Structure 1
Amino acid sequence: MIAVAFLYFLGLYVSKLHCTRVHCHCLQHKPTSIELNSAESPRPVEEKPKRRRLLSLDTFRGFSLTIMVFLNCGGGGYWFFEHAAWNGLTVADLVMPWFVFIIGTSVALAFHAMMKREVSRIQLLRKLTWRTVILLLMGLCFLNYGPRDGPLSWSWARIPGVLQRLGFTYFILALMETFFCLKDLGRYQFGNWWAPLRDIVLYWPEWVIMVILETLWLCLTFLLPVPGCPRGYLGPGGIGDDGKYPNCTGGAAGYIDKLVLGEDHIYRYPTCKELYKTTQPFDPEGILGTINSILMAFFGLQAGKIILMYRQQPLSILKRFLIWAVLLGIISAILTKCTQNEGFIPINKNLWSLSFVTTLSCFSFVLLGIMFYVIDVKNWWGGQPFIFPGMNSILIYVASSLLSTYFPFNWEMKFPNSHAEPLFQTLLGTSLWVLVAYLLYRKKFFLKI
């Protein structure tokens, strides 16, 4: 009933609005693909080009969000829609990294646009700080509250979380762009021997920062002494590794979280708990993994810079996306030795290991490249239905998370041992949220932080 009431009042509220102050100026006309050849025809000086949305990015975001809602609704009870117990990769492990990648691409496009409008750095800092604080508070207040000492007690509240990680990742990337984003890209595009690599060379300070951060992750992960555990331990603890290190879940990552945040404020039900009989809490959105989340977003930022640098040459964009995908795929193969558990650094979503980031970044370049070609270059597809939740991602994500246990998104199963009823419940819940996103789109209502 709570969920029904929420949807009812949301509908009433939206129906009274024709357009919000935020975002609706982009939708006064039907969204079209980005203008790839805008510089080829002369225009009067006084005419301002219309702002064009990158529909493939909205679609990619909505595609990821739809899968996330599907998973939050239960995933039909199938094992491959659950997170991997420790090393390895399932469908459920793909979604959040894609979101992080998309954040990076969005930051590149948004900050370039604001720089062209000559928005001051003070205004940019104010904007990015405000958005970060809102994301952190939304994560803490709405999605993380699970008290054990009473309805108003926070003594056992989890501090890390999905929105917290997204917020902090956004903050670091936006901070870099505030100081290193280039407004006039045209003057760098020709006449230099490094022109084919200008999307990298022109942003060398950001690359230096990322190398420093990744070096820090490697040093802490493999060199930090953890009491009772071998250096560089990446295992699940518990009965894993023949039970030699039962209290070493996550190695340095788990140790840092417990040291800084305390055991009472990190996730107490890690995915390895059931299979490996672990007794230690471990947070998949912990402190150390956030460094690699920033790296994942940085690869998305790189995708955005490629789009900006070569916006008049769609084939060049696609070639560079393919090159990045191949390079990252090769790095992943080397780090993992093409095995689940025997590599130098196995793919691990809980740890956000380096191989996890390179693998998912490879997938992201491929998916965004395909959608960019199909939607923005060839106009073969408008992105429906994924574009609808993609343009209201914060609202749909938070609302679907808050109401995931209420009817009509959830009910007591009559046939819990069959996949039929859980799958129907999951598909119904997911479809309802896509419908909500579509109705909001029709009313031109977009929640924007």
Structure 2
Amino acid sequence: MEPRRILTQILCVFFLTTGRNEGKLDAKSCSGRPALKLDQACLTFHNQLPTGVDVLYTSDYCYKCLYQPLVSVLNGPQNASVVVSTVLTLTLQLQPMGRNTTLCSWSQLYEEAAHYSVWIQESESPINVICYQTVDVSPSNIYFRGVVRRSSSRPFVTKDHSMQWMMKPKVVGTRLTLPSQNQQDCAHWTLSEVSWSWLRIPGVLQRLGFTYFILSLMQTFCGMREIPLSRGRWWDPVQDVVLYWPEWIFIILLETLWLCLTFLLPVPNCPTGYLGAGGIGDNGLYPNCTGGAAGYIDKWLLGDNIYHWPTCKAMYRTTQPFDPEGVLGTINSIVMGFMGMQAGKILIFYRKKDISVLSRFLVWAILLGNSAAILSKCTRDEGFIPVNKNLWSLSYITCMGCFSFLLLGVMYFVMDIKGWWGGQPFIYPGMNSIFVYVGHSLLGSYFPFSWEMRFVDSHWEKLFQSLWATSLWVLIAFLLYRKKFFLKI
């Protein structure tokens, strides 16, 4: 047999058996609709009224969002079924078809894989309507909710999906296509050139590289070559701050620039200082203002070469692109990196003074935590500057800085002072983080890291698959650690 055909058959078997597959759904159908998937429930509306009913919905985590149409039920007796998400609490509202009058409304977090019936009936009084709900099929995974829940409470709070883009080829895009069975070859590769009209310029590694570049320049020109001895000066307890006053002035100026651009820059057709998601949020008043000044600056500087699938797109029905690694947010990533440098200075200045190190970590955590609490008013959406990950808002970096100092203090106590733990096994992937990241990006959807799930409607197998893949990468990182192989950029 020709070597080429042998290789082709091997590739065929590999990709057909290990490729990502959605699999068949075993859940029962929702009144003729496709079977339920993960995080889905079925609602069947039974209309007993002489008029048709429109069912509207919104998520309680969608900030001031307009109600969206869910399903319409004709005049009774009629019924209609619809699949809803069980990830977030939903508020449903029923109103007569074609009229803006509320018949009834309720909020509920529906349980996964459950089937519900909502009955709409007239009461004894002709002006009142009774709406009540029954459970036809009991939910599954009811004790597993906390492990798999992920909140998108603020337009940009949830983790964005940009990580998958940065590792895509920048010169050519590679696509694997599987032709029909009547073709001789099982697999073939097609190459397509990347167009500058849509190529994304920002990215996670780009932001990290630029942040470290600015911080290294600042440390090179403003840093100290050696630590001066304490001479009984009144400011010696804060010498790790005072001696680096040029760096602090630079960071303060940077943060002032972020505040001015965010809250004073005029954005066409948008309110000045807007921080929302746009779309249907804020009562639909600013549909094209996604990200406010941050989004406007990115589109002005980078044009269409930014991220087009922000995390707010699904919930807020946005139409504008927004890049979570954009230009304006990079300013605050530099500020947050500077907080890490401050932690390093504490470790250097107060070496072998464990109490001094821990007390300073605690003081910084309190200062940053209080700042985040004041800026956000300890609320999800109503603060002066809400905690917003994709915008890298000031409250976000102070909140993350608070928890970072706390965690660093705990690790310093456990590992450096008490010596109870050496960091294993996390030090192994940490020493080869780029290799693990790139490897998982390229191979994470193939066996043995993933496989076609047998129980598609179960979180247990999905969790096991994730833990299995993580364990494999830790093992690979450990073997590379033993071989002293470290991939660096």
Q: Is the 8 A contact 1:143 1:401 kept in 2?
A: no
Partner of 1:266: 306
1:160 to 188, 199, 202: 202
Distance 1:88 1:182, change over 3 A: same
SS in 2 for 1:242: helix
2:276 to 231, 235, 252: 235
- CA distance, structure 2, for counterparts of residue 426 and residue 143 of structure 1: 28
Mapping of 1:131-210 within 5 angstroms?
139=166, 142=169, 151-155=192-196, 156-185=198-227, 187-210=228-251
Mapping of 1:321-400 within 5 angstroms?
321-400=361-440
Distance 1:239 1:144, change over 3 A: farther
2:305 matches 1:305: no
Mapping of 1:50-65 within 5 angstroms?
none
- CA distance, structure 1, for counterparts of residue 336 and residue 173 of structure 2: 29
- CA distance, structure 2, for counterparts of residue 89 and residue 145 of structure 1: 32
Q: Which runs of 5+ in 2 are unaligned?
A: 1-9, 15-143, 176-189
Q: Is the 8 A contact 1:87 1:340 kept in 2?
A: no
SS in 1 for 2:193: coil
2:379 partner letter? T
Distance 1:150 1:238, change over 3 A: farther
SS in 1 for 2:192: coil
Partner of 1:296: 336
Q: Is the 8 A contact 1:240 1:246 kept in 2?
A: yes
- CA distance, structure 2, for counterparts of residue 419 and residue 190 of structure 1: 61
2:287 partner letter? P
Partner of 2:62: none
User: Greater CA radius of gyration, 1 or 2?
Assistant: 2
Greater RCO between the two (CA within 8 Å, min separation 6)?
1
Once the two structures are superposed, residues 169-205 of structure 1 have per-residue CA deviations (whole angstroms, 9 ceiling, x without a partner) of 11011111111221210x3433221100100001001
2:438 matches 1:407: no
Once the two structures are superposed, residues 387-437 of structure 1 have per-residue CA deviations (whole angstroms, 9 ceiling, x without a partner) of 111111222222222322232223333333221121111111111111111
SS in 2 for 1:151: strand
- CA distance, structure 2, for counterparts of residue 139 and residue 362 of structure 1: 28
Partner of 1:45: none
- CA distance, structure 2, for counterparts of residue 331 and residue 385 of structure 1: 34
1:420 to 449, 452, 460: 460
1:84 partner letter? S
2:328 partner letter? L
- CA distance, structure 1, for counterparts of residue 230 and residue 365 of structure 2: 23
> Which moves more between the two structures, 419-428 or 355-364?
419-428
Once the two structures are superposed, residues 114-151 of structure 1 have per-residue CA deviations (whole angstroms, 9 ceiling, x without a partner) of xxxxxxxxxxxxxxxxxxxxxxxx94765898799972
Once the two structures are superposed, residues 303-348 of structure 1 have per-residue CA deviations (whole angstroms, 9 ceiling, x without a partner) of 0000000012011111000000000010011000000000000001
Partner of 2:297: 256
Partner of 2:261: 220
> Which moves more between the two structures, 322-331 or 400-409?
400-409
2:360 matches 1:320: yes
Q: Is the 8 A contact 2:154 2:388 kept in 1?
A: yes
2:223 partner letter? C
Q: Is the 8 A contact 2:278 2:286 kept in 1?
A: yes
Once the two structures are superposed, residues 349-383 of structure 1 have per-residue CA deviations (whole angstroms, 9 ceiling, x without a partner) of 11000000000000000111111111112111011
CA RMSD of aligned residues (A): 2.8
Distance 1:85 1:159, change over 3 A: farther
Q: TM-score, normalised by structure 2?
A: 0.63
Q: Is the 8 A contact 1:235 1:251 kept in 2?
A: yes
Once the two structures are superposed, residues 258-315 of structure 1 have per-residue CA deviations (whole angstroms, 9 ceiling, x without a partner) of 111112x111111101111111111111110000000110100000000000012011
1:379 partner letter? G
Q: Is the 8 A contact 1:310 1:317 kept in 2?
A: yes
Q: Is the 8 A contact 2:154 2:381 kept in 1?
A: no
More strand by share: 2
Q: Is the 8 A contact 1:392 1:437 kept in 2?
A: yes
Partner of 1:86: 154
Shift in Å, 1:88? 7.6
Q: Is the 8 A contact 1:78 1:419 kept in 2?
A: no
SS in 2 for 1:340: coil
- CA distance, structure 2, for counterparts of residue 171 and residue 256 of structure 1: 22
2:248 partner letter? W
Distance 1:411 1:145, change over 3 A: farther
Once the two structures are superposed, residues 239-258 of structure 1 have per-residue CA deviations (whole angstroms, 9 ceiling, x without a partner) of 00011000000000011111
- CA distance, structure 2, for counterparts of residue 194 and residue 429 of structure 1: 51
Distance 1:425 1:78, change over 3 A: farther
SS in 2 for 1:405: coil
Partner of 1:70: none
Q: Is the 8 A contact 1:410 1:425 kept in 2?
A: yes
Distance 1:211 1:347, change over 3 A: same
Distance 1:81 1:403, change over 3 A: farther
More helix by share: 1
Q: Is the 8 A contact 2:277 2:290 kept in 1?
A: yes
